[in-house]
Each structure stands twice: as C-alpha cells, then as structure tokens.
C-alpha cells in the first residue's frame, strides 16, 4: 500500500515568510508525528496527533510553529516568520495507533531552506 | 532528560563481515526500541523493533536488548555494500514520540 507522503519535497523561502508543509499518513493510521532533522543529527520530535487533536506539542520550538489535522488524516505544519535556523528536513511519520509497541513509518520529508 | 547515545562512526567493515552497532539510553523506563536505516538524502526506514530482553533476528539483522544495562545493539551479518548507510537508534520511553541518537555511519567496503 501507499506509504506516508509529504509535499512539497523541497521548499525554499525567504526569512520572515510563512510556509506550510503537508503530510498524508498511511491510510488507516490514527497517530501522526512531526519531526525535524538537522544535518548530522537524528530526528527531533515536534508534535504528535492522535486523531484530530494534538496530544503532545511539547517539541514545538516556539509559537511560530503550529500544526493542524482537522479531519484526522492529512496534517499541515505551519511556520510563521521563518528564520534561517528553521532550515532542516521536516519529517512526518504515522503509526497504526498510539502505544509503546506501535511502529512509526516515515515519509520522504520536506527539505526547508530559509534564505 | 531522555538521551540516546550512539558512536557516530564512521564504522567501516569489509564485505561479508559482521557489522556491530551500539546504542545506550538514559531513560530506564523505556519500553520499546527501534533501529532505522537512513541512506544519504533519504528518510529513515524502519528495519528492526525490539521490546524484550534478548535477541531478535530478522534475516541478516539481529537486534539485542539489555534493559538492565540500558543497551541495545544491531548486528548485520554478511554485510553488503548496499548496507552502507547511517543507522539510527530510537527509543520510545512512553506511548508517543521517539527519541533518536545521532546515528552511526556504516561503510561496507567491497
């Protein structure tokens, strides 16, 4: 079946602009996660959705970052007033349900470059 | 503080040898552990998960977990050049997000 998809694959923007990154999870997966990966680092957790609600947003770095999942499927990560330090690969993952034993599967990522 | 430590490498092994990748974690309450493979410019791909102490084998891959020592490892037998990648250790202390190490870069030399 289809895996996690993310669009766009690459996004180049200027400092101060607003960007939206989209994630379409594996069909039927109720849990959705956003991570951010900088060069040479492992992915860092940003936010987790169970259904439509953000169950854990403790990883969002500041209030410029926001994410939604209005219908419990597709999610959008929104970044306001982008800064050069926001440049990274933004990864989305989904799993069949919450819980310790549920495996997370990653999408291809969106590479964000803030000039 | 939840930390996952890996040797960043690079680790080089000859083709056909066993590659051994190691990971330690700080949260003693962690319940599930994962190994992801990440090729350059690609996203992480899940290759192994382990939840109980001991060994778990899947093809050429064996994951080993020792919760008392807070240690998890990945063995790759009969290493192939196509195994050359960065291997990420991930730990799930609770029910939600993963905590990742920085990854170990493996090079298999033909």
| pLDDT tens-digit series, residues A51-81 | 888 889 999 999 999 999 999 899 999 999 9
Compute the distance between CA of residue B37 and CA of residue B72 in angstroms, rounded to an integer.
15
- B42 CB within 8 Å of a chain A CB: yes
Q: Look at B22 and B96; give whichever has higher pLDDT.
A: B22
pLDDT computed for residue A111 by the predictor: 98
* Token digits of residue B31: 């319940």
Q: Are B106 and B86 in contact (CB under 8 A)?
A: yes
- B52 CB within 8 Å of a chain A CB: no
Q: Is the pLDDT of residue B53 over 70?
A: yes
Spatial strand order in the sheet of A75-79: A5-7, A19-24, A75-79, A65-68
The answer to whether the Cβ–Cβ distance between B46 and A104 falls below 8 Å is yes
């Amino acid at each position: 079946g289809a895996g996690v998809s993310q669009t766009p694959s690459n996004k180049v923007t200027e400092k101060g602009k607003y960007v939206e990154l989209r994630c379409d999870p594996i069909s039927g997966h109720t849990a959705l996660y956003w991570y951010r990966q900088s060069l040479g680092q492992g992915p860092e957790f940003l936010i987790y959705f169970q259904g439509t609600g953000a169950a854990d947003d403790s990883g969002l770095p500041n209030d410029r970052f926001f994410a939604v999942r209005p219908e419990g499927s597709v999610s959008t990560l929104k970044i306001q007033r982008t800064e050069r330090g926001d440049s990274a690969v933004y990864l989305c993952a989904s799993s069949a349900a919450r819980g310790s034993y549920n495996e997370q599967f990653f999408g291809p990522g969106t590479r964000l470059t803030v000039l | 503080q939840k930390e996952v430590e890996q040797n960043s490498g690079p680790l080089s092994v000859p083709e056909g040898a066993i590659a051994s990748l190691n990971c330690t974690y700080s949260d003693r309450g962690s319940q599930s552990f994962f190994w992801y493979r990440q090729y350059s410019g690609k996203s992480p791909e899940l290759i192994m998960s382990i939840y109980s102490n001991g060994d778990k084998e899947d093809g050429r891959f064996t994951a080993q977990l020792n919760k008392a020592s807070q240690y998890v490892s990945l063995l790759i037998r009969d290493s192939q050049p196509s195994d050359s990648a960065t291997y990420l250790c991930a730990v799930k202390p609770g029910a939600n997000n993963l905590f990742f190490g920085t990854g170990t870069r493996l090079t298999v030399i033909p």
